[in-house]
Structure 1
């Protein structure tokens, strides 16, 4: 007779679950359905943080995009198995950003001829409607374009388990300035805090051309600067501490509206980076800042796509590659070429085909370890191991980790203990 999987020591089956493939969300989801104990283990407070400690960088599990046909953001998985997120509000009109386990959309307000921002947690399906700043409604007729970024609002947070806490939103407007004699437009920005439920003061900057933000999302550098790349290649910086705006050029820049050679990213040192498409290869640049007024672009690396992409992806040496997104936290870019979409891990240069290209514009990568939502019937047992056994229960920590690793590497034959065998078989059937 099979022994119930719940008889397996909690410390051991948690270590086993932690070692399931992190880039395949379906594994943890299916394992959570095996029994209440396993469902609790993967959804309890702290499990997500332990995934970070063990695997370091979270995976890209998919991306949001603007559907060409219905202009509704949709989710496309980048994982090996079929996977989908819970449906978000179908009134959404444009996906803007994703960061710290939260997605941000520009949405049509229900029953009103106005717009609003919507923060959505893909894993929990929790969402919060955010009214536009008063200034937006006052100058709506002169607004050329808008964009926004979402980020954690908790001071001192290490962003390994951001979910359900306070967040902030930076909202940026490109506004036609009718009072300017120099045909200049204005860039306006302000920050929303979910803690206070209010918008901060406006920051403004005059710029000589319209700045639109159709193709690229933002990049957060060192928790203090947010960057946006405009369609014409200009880079907009917002300093979260000083609340000021700055505009500057990417490397080797010659103004050309609609120039899609560039996309912003994080450099290897954590600062601002830019990737520049040159035919079938990619130049990676890093911005070196010596003081508040002196900065330069330094070429750090060249990636030759012909060495990474499968045969047929590049028809010839002149085939264009376009970078459509950068996944913060995973150091992955999304590129298209000859009607195909690929992910490229910049550190390992591992490449994976995701899907055919469907005319994508701005891609918003979803970067997260996917852990199922806590179920109401589970009690919090995270602080109740046997006191006599020490902080990790009856089994020593090193022994627990070693046995879990053997299970994942070798299967159920590593031990004759019936509890272990049946529990491993239960995992196998679940996934």
Structure 2
């Protein structure tokens, strides 16, 4: 006869769901979709209290910051927010707003933050659209004169892991001395509230493409936001030299990367993350997408290799298709073809028509964790999300 028996549980013992600390850890691991916490809030008052707590909402956002959902995008010209998720995770269009106008220039978004250049007072704004927080940064010493001359300045904002602090890297091209053209960068830390010194690297000598463009300078193209891949930030260089400007975050140094001429003959390129997280290039060839990646051998010699070719389905397989934006964390591109805007996932190859427009713009994808932290019954956003469940 077995000696095993069931011992009565002590009245003081708690199941995991009865322990607030364990329950919060479980809720913390819910999918980072906008409807996750509002749904959890409906279970009972105790779950509602935990899921709607502002401190927990902040932990939830930090926990999922490295793999955030693609909530939508900001129009690079007008600053309005366009949601792209389906119900019940679709964010109301008016929930996020950015300062915009002729004198406000969006430079891109990353890690839930948006970087804006305010040309009216020559300063930068780092905005968190989810919380509404804004951080104002004066232009760094050494770049004031270039900003006053309306020289093109690009930049990138990023955070390390769950760090509450952020950094901004600005870059521009100095073409005043035609014999010694150079790219300049400067790094700001919100932890110290200070800019570092100017970092520079020579730019290639200007080579006219044809007789019609004999004097174009090399510029850091402001129409395409930076891409973070590996330990570096990359921008597109344009003008009489098409290439890539790299800022190494570890070495705090700049370098120019050349793109082979035969690749430039394919079409205009976009910088993307390659498979494995390194530097890659995307080319639209009319009926397909070519994804190239940069490989470095043991001797430090770098070469470009074709990674894969993605065949586009109609109506995307058109010579008139152009690329409007790239979401680096979700590996999604926005394309415009014959008046329609599509989003295409480069891994799953799934595509989705978003809307129609005759005036395409550059789009800055907004990848962030939105928690509707006011909770069910306390705010319209959370209630709307659950209503569409």
| Coarse TM-score class (shorter-chain normalised) | 0.7 to 0.9
Match of 1:337 in 2: 337
Q: Residue 428 of structure 1: CA displacement?
A: 6.1
Q: Would the alpha carbon gap of residues 77 and 244 (structure 1) be closer, same or farther in structure 2, given more than 3 Å must change?
A: same
For 2:82 and 2:174, locate their aligned partners in 1 and report how far apart those are by CA, in whole Å. Answer: 33
Q: Would the alpha carbon gap of residues 201 and 292 (structure 1) be closer, same or farther in structure 2, given more than 3 Å must change?
A: farther
SS at match of 2:144: helix
SS at match of 1:344: strand
SS at match of 2:132: coil
SS at match of 2:349: coil
Match of 2:169 in 1: 170
Contact map agreement 2:113 2:126 (CA 8 A) in 1: yes
Q: Would the alpha carbon gap of residues 370 and 139 (structure 1) be closer, same or farther in structure 2, given more than 3 Å must change?
A: closer
For 1:291 and 1:65, locate their aligned partners in 2 and report how far apart those are by CA, in whole Å. Answer: 42
Match of 1:354 in 2: 354
- Pick aligned residue for 1:80 from 82, 86, 92: 86
For 1:371 and 1:247, locate their aligned partners in 2 and report how far apart those are by CA, in whole Å. Answer: 40
- Are 2:315 and 1:302 equivalent residues in the alignment? no
Residue by residue over 1:121-169, the C-alpha shift from the partner in whole angstroms, topping out at 9 and shown as x without a partner, is: 11111110111012111344555311000011x5xx3x5xx5xx11100
Match of 2:289 in 1: 282
Q: Residue 347 of structure 1: CA displacement?
A: 1.6
When normalised by structure 2's length, the TM-score is 0.76
Residue by residue over 1:68-92, the C-alpha shift from the partner in whole angstroms, topping out at 9 and shown as x without a partner, is: xxxx312111111452333333567
SS at match of 1:216: coil
- Pick aligned residue for 1:66 from 56, 59, 76: 76
Q: Would the alpha carbon gap of residues 143 and 293 (structure 1) be closer, same or farther in structure 2, given more than 3 Å must change?
A: farther
Q: Residue 430 of structure 1: CA displacement?
A: 7.2
For 1:202 and 1:293, locate their aligned partners in 2 and report how far apart those are by CA, in whole Å. Answer: 27
Residue by residue over 1:214-240, the C-alpha shift from the partner in whole angstroms, topping out at 9 and shown as x without a partner, is: 331111122x21101134542110112
- Pick aligned residue for 2:116 from 105, 130, 144: 105
Contact map agreement 2:38 2:51 (CA 8 A) in 1: no
Match of 1:192 in 2: 188
* Structure 1 unaligned blocks of 5 or more: 1-7, 379-426
Q: Would the alpha carbon gap of residues 137 and 282 (structure 1) be closer, same or farther in structure 2, given more than 3 Å must change?
A: same
Q: Residue 285 of structure 1: CA displacement?
A: 0.7
SS at match of 1:134: coil
Match of 1:248 in 2: 257
Contact map agreement 1:144 1:212 (CA 8 A) in 2: no
For 1:204 and 1:292, locate their aligned partners in 2 and report how far apart those are by CA, in whole Å. Answer: 25
- Pick aligned residue for 2:48 from 21, 38, 45: 38
Counting only pairs closer than 5 Å after superposition, residues 396-411 of structure 1 correspond to structure 2 as none
Match of 1:220 in 2: 228
Contact map agreement 2:28 2:63 (CA 8 A) in 1: no
Q: Would the alpha carbon gap of residues 216 and 253 (structure 1) be closer, same or farther in structure 2, given more than 3 Å must change?
A: farther
Residue by residue over 1:280-339, the C-alpha shift from the partner in whole angstroms, topping out at 9 and shown as x without a partner, is: 210001111226852111111101112xx5xxx24xx65332222221211211111111
For 1:57 and 1:140, locate their aligned partners in 2 and report how far apart those are by CA, in whole Å. Answer: 35
- Are 2:216 and 1:206 equivalent residues in the alignment? no
Contact map agreement 1:203 1:245 (CA 8 A) in 2: yes
SS at match of 1:195: coil
Q: Residue 12 of structure 1: CA displacement?
A: 7.2
Equivalent pairs counted in the alignment come to: 341
For 1:101 and 1:248, locate their aligned partners in 2 and report how far apart those are by CA, in whole Å. Answer: 28
Q: Would the alpha carbon gap of residues 122 and 40 (structure 1) be closer, same or farther in structure 2, given more than 3 Å must change?
A: farther
For 1:291 and 1:241, locate their aligned partners in 2 and report how far apart those are by CA, in whole Å. Answer: 20
Contact map agreement 1:120 1:127 (CA 8 A) in 2: yes
* Root-mean-square deviation (Å): 3.4
When normalised by structure 1's length, the TM-score is 0.69
Q: Would the alpha carbon gap of residues 31 and 93 (structure 1) be closer, same or farther in structure 2, given more than 3 Å must change?
A: farther
Match of 1:93 in 2: 104
